[in-house]
Structure 1
Amino acid sequence: MTISDSTSDAFLKDFHYVATIGATANNGVDRQAATDEDRQSRTWFADWVNNRGYQLRIDGIGNMFALIEWNPGAPFILVGSHLDSQPLAGRFDGAYGVIAALHAAEEVDQRIRNSGSKPPFNLAVVNWFNEEGARFAPSIMGSSVSAGLMDEQQMLAVTDLQGTAVGDALDSIGFRGTDERPTAAGYAEIHIEQGRILEREKTQLGAVDGSWYTQKLDIEVIGEQSHTGATAMADRHDALIAASKIVLMVENVTGDFEAEQLVSSVGQFVVEPNSPIVVPRRVHLVADLRSNEKEVVETARGKLKDEIEELAQASGLKIAVKDFDIRPNRYFPESGLELQEKVAADLGLSIRRIQTMAGHDSIAMNTVVPTVMMFIPSADGVSHCEREFTSDDDMVAGLRALTEVAFAMIHGELDDGGSQEYGGPHDGGLRTEGSQA
């Protein structure tokens, strides 16, 4: 069984329409969490759900759920992703997974109604809040709150760089809800790979079997503000000079390991007072370290902290380093991997097992319920960029696979009766020390 041409056509129409919400000049989107552009995409989601007579729920952290209930009182298989984006981002990341989930769910609903059967589980499509973490850190916020990995009240109090709290921002766009979350029995998500393995190997699907160890460092450099022209060089305490050296440290530490064994970057960098005639007094930056091996990240972290301490002593500046957003390796259930492989074989699609270096809502959900994560190819491996691209054919192939996975999951094909400890090693889960200031 496979989806109809009308289903794939309707999906593509919706996908390309949503890409116009927050569209940028170079075919990307900018829909950061709880902005007006995010409000528009959320309104589209709500209208889509209401127009089909499904039940819409919005919880206290802004997660949106479209409920399809055939078996009153039974728990739900969740399918979905997120509609928020990075600044000047691609139009596929996250949004593809939500829109594919909506159309997969509608197809499954039609099958169930035509058959007159009552599956053991109901189905719900979810749009998670603030997966990207661009405006509000940490990322993967809505799904992590849902999974009990982050505290809802603490996350509602998180502020952006302008001092606006998550709760206030959600109130301002009308999407801070009070509804109860549906009881989840499983979760499935489809996403672009954001790498080039599938494209390079000409493979249509990736069955994600595990995630990389991730850790961020929240770094604050404190110097002294002074005049760029009138202050002697010997008398300056320039926070930006020290922060620039730290950026290079974060880049250079990867050279201590085998190629691509460790990836690192400084993605956020805030300079104060950011005036052309003032020596900077404060710089805040966030360093990101990732590897498939926890020990590699911890070794790199240790070296960076030692080098930063030496820099602080040599420069006479105060430099504070906090561990932030630590995510252990997670492993997806073997039964879910086998299900994806069976579905791919039935549909005539090529598939391979693959790891994810990026974080996803599926990683949070995988700690509490059996979870499936699927990838489709990304052109040139480019993501978080307006040049991000995946073909219509690859998106439809993924939609076909997601539909069959969802259909199997509502019939209990991934239910293990609670015998499995999800996610692999449980060494503390997500931790969120540090701040976004």
Structure 2
Amino acid sequence: MTSASFLSDFHAVAAIGATPNNGVDRQAATAEDALTRDWFAVWVQEAGWELRVDSIGNMFALLEWTPGAPFVIIGSHLDSQPLGGRFDGAYGVIAALHAARRISADVDAGGELPRFNLAVVNWFNEEGGRFAPSIMGSSVYAGLLSRDQMLAVTDLQGTSVSEALEGIGYLGTAEAPAAAGYAEIHIEQGRILEREGISIGVVDSSWYTQKLDIEVLGEQSHTGATAMADRHDALVAASRIILMVHDVTEEFADEALVSSVGQLTLEPNSPIVVARRVHLIADLRSGDPEVVKAARAKLIGDIDALARKYDIKVNVKDFDIRPIRRFPQEGLELAEQVAAGLGLSSRRIQTMAGHDSVAMNTVAPSVMLFIPSVDGVSHCEREFTTDEDMVLGLDMLTGVTRELISGALANSATGSSDAVNSALPGADAENAAALPGAVRA
């Protein structure tokens, strides 16, 4: 039960799907993801715990002390981005396994019988790199996404979630445990904790997220034989849209809005053919929903003008809109008390990124914890957190979990949501009207 065994496990998992520059590539339901799932399954079986895999591929390790009682769930995810970092997600799963083993040993040694049972989870497809949207498994668990619709989602090669999970042997049939609470520890993926020299971030809320699904339709033609004046190049238009998404942040205060285009597909993708179609996903995030609303409106207007100028068609649909979610005050205070008891400094912090805890916070009182990220980088091979900070985080998660299974948040409500979707034009993409001539929003 020492920190050495935890670090040994962490670095062993980091070797699965390892990339040349100390990252990992374990996208959801790939062969590499299957190997980490196999590792999780063997670990759980050797610990003597029950293993369940539900119908969206979430894996649960169950420690049941009181038959019929609900479970406090702790964990994160083992899948990664392409050429991703070895800490993102995996740290939270492995820390949860070791926290659960520490607590189990105490109970077995005659400690107080907890009020709630305990489960460690590996959520399916948190990253969303292969299958969109992200945070899939926990969102299905929480009832925020339809299981059947998510099983039908396909990757860029046309493979569905259900086919991929079945192909690696992890399309389960078991019932997921009922949640009495949830806790997750994660690297910060920013540099606030490092900059301020603080050990633990206690997450109080998530940022508002709005994605745009953008389809640019031009006309396919010969790159050599077609006169420049006669071309309707979807890629040229798409490149200008990408710059619009980047530049829209300049309309607002520094760091009030972050934006990016992270995925782009091109047809026919031939070196001698002018592109007929480009599909891309734009991502807008802010702590203020009104900033996202204003940025979206500007982009829609600018894209419409672009489409008219270049005589092409651009279809824009709202996609994956997530309101601000606030974590329960009682959970924040609990985490701060645990940190103080361990002699660890802490501060409250927002999460700009999405996490499984944000979904779980809708169905069970949840606690989200951060440990420092070196240089604040993530989703890349350079992602790094020290062994010392990981071990302190393990101690922190263990302390919070002990309190949760004892019923510390039993009377707390789930976190609140700033429900402002209705204020965002076109929040229902199917009912949104097309802008004149060019853009469907």
Instruction: Output the CA distance in 1 between the equivalents of 2:111 and 2:287.
Output: 46
Provide the C-alpha distance between the structure 1 equivalents of 2:40 and 2:414, rounded to a whole number of angstroms. 33
SS of match in other structure, 1:404: helix
C-alpha deviation, 1:298, in angstroms: 0.6
> What is aligned with 1:81?
76
Match for residue 423 of structure 1? 416
Give, as a single letter, the amino acid of the residue that structure 1 aligns with 2:106.
R
Contact 1:138–1:432, Cα closer than 8 Å, also in 2: no
TM-fit CA distance, 1:423: 3.0
- Alignment match, 1:147: 142
What is the CA–CA distance in structure 1 between the aligned matches of 2:308 and 2:175, rounded to whole Å? 52
Give the Cα–Cα distance (whole angstroms) in 1 for the partners of residues 414 and 410 of structure 2.
Answer: 13
Identify the residue that residue 352 of structure 1 maps to in structure 2: 347
Task: Report the alpha carbon displacement of residue 336 of structure 1 after superposing the two structures with TM.
Answer: 0.7
The letter of the residue matching 2:15 is T
| TM-score where L is the length of structure 1 | 0.96
Q: Mark the CA change 1:424 to 1:239 in structure 2 (over 3 Å): closer, same or farther.
A: same
Task: Measure how far apart 1:433 and its partner are.
Answer: 6.3
Equivalent of 1:223 in 204, 218, 224? 218
CA distance, structure 1, for counterparts of residue 112 and residue 343 of structure 2: 27
Q: Deviations over 1:79-115 (max 9, x none)?
A: 0000000000000000000000000000011111212
Q: Is the 8 A contact 1:240 1:282 kept in 2?
A: yes
1:250 paired to 2:229: no
CA distance in 1, matches of 2:30, 2:74: 24
Unaligned regions of 5+ residues in structure 1, if any? 1-5
Q: Deviations over 1:371-391 (max 9, x none)?
A: 000000000000000000000
Q: Please give the secondary structure, in 1, of the residue aligned with 2:241.
A: helix
Whole-Å separation in 1 of the counterparts to 2:76 and 2:44: 15
Specify the code of the residue in structure 1 equivalent to 2:152.
A
* AA of the residue aligned to 1:184: A
C-alpha distance in 2 between matches for 1:422 and 1:334? 8
- Hey, what does 1:112 align to over in structure 2? 107
Quote how far apart the aligned CAs of 1:421 are: 4.8
Q: How far 1:244 sits from its partner (Å)?
A: 0.3
Give a deviation string over 1:352-404, Cα, whole Å, max 9, x none: 00000000000000011100000000000000000000000000000000001
Task: Kindly report which structure 2 residues correspond to 1:101-140, keeping only aligned pairs within 5 A, or say none.
Answer: 101-140=96-135
Residue of structure 2 aligned with 1:28, choices 18, 23, 29: 23
Give the letter for the 2:61 counterpart.
A
Give the CA deviation at 1:420. 2.4
Residue in 2 that maps onto 1:3: none
Structure 1 letter corresponding to 2:388: D
**Does the 8 Å CA contact 1:221/1:239 hold for their aligned counterparts?**
yes
Match of 1:47 in 2: 42
Q: Which amino acid aligns with 2:131?
A: F
- Aligned pair 1:382/2:380, yes or no? no
Preserved contact between residue 181 and residue 404 of structure 2 (Cα < 8 Å): yes
Residue 327 of structure 2 corresponds to residue 332 of structure 1: yes
2:294 alignment partner, SS class? helix
Q: 1:116 Cα deviation (Å)? A: 4.5
> Within 5 Å, which residues of 2 pair with 1:3-402?
6-402=1-397
* CA distance in structure 2 between the aligned counterparts of 1:107 and 1:161, rounded to whole angstroms: 42
Q: Is the 8 A contact 1:189 1:372 kept in 2?
A: yes
Aligned partner letter, 2:415: Y
Write out per-residue CA displacement over residues 119-172 of structure 1, whole angstroms, 9 at most, x where no aligned residue: 110000000000000000000000000000000000000000000000000000
CA contact (8 A) 1:265 1:289 kept: yes
1:41 partner SS? helix
Q: Distance in 1 between matches of 2:414 and 2:92?
A: 26
Normalized against structure 2, the TM-score is what? 0.95
C-alpha contact 1:325 1:433 (8 A) present in aligned 2: no
Matched position secondary structure for 1:57: strand
Amino acid at match of 1:128: W
Q: Percent identity?
A: 68
Q: How far apart in 1 are the matches of 2:91 and 2:389? A: 11
- Does the 8 Å CA contact 1:67/1:125 hold for their aligned counterparts? yes
Q: Using the TM superposition, give the Cα deviation of residue 428 of structure 1 relative to its aligned residue in structure 2, in angstroms.
A: 6.0
Judge which range, 419-428 or 90-99, deviates more. 419-428
Tell which deviates more after alignment, 113-122 or 265-274.
Answer: 113-122
1:318-375 CA-partner distances (Å, limit 9, x unpaired): 1000000000000001111111111111101110000000000000000111000000
Structure 2 contact 26–32 (Cα < 8 Å) conserved: yes
Letter in 2 for 1:8: S
Once residues 425 and 237 of structure 1 are traced to their aligned partners in structure 2, the CA distance between those partners, rounded to angstroms, is: 42
Aligned partner of 2:438 in structure 1 is none
1:275-315: CA deviations, max 9, x gaps?
Answer: 11111110000000000000000100010001101111111
Aligned partners of 1:156 and 1:63: how far apart in 2?
13
Q: Distance in 2 between matches of 1:286 and 1:161?
A: 13
Checking the alignment, whether the CA contact within 8 Å between 2:52 and 2:175 is kept in structure 1 is yes
Residue identity in the other structure for 1:415: A
Counterpart Cα distance in 1 of 2:375 and 2:103: 33
Note if contact 2:22-2:381 (Cα within 8 Å) is conserved in structure 1: yes
The answer to whether the 8 Å contact 1:291/1:357 transfers is yes
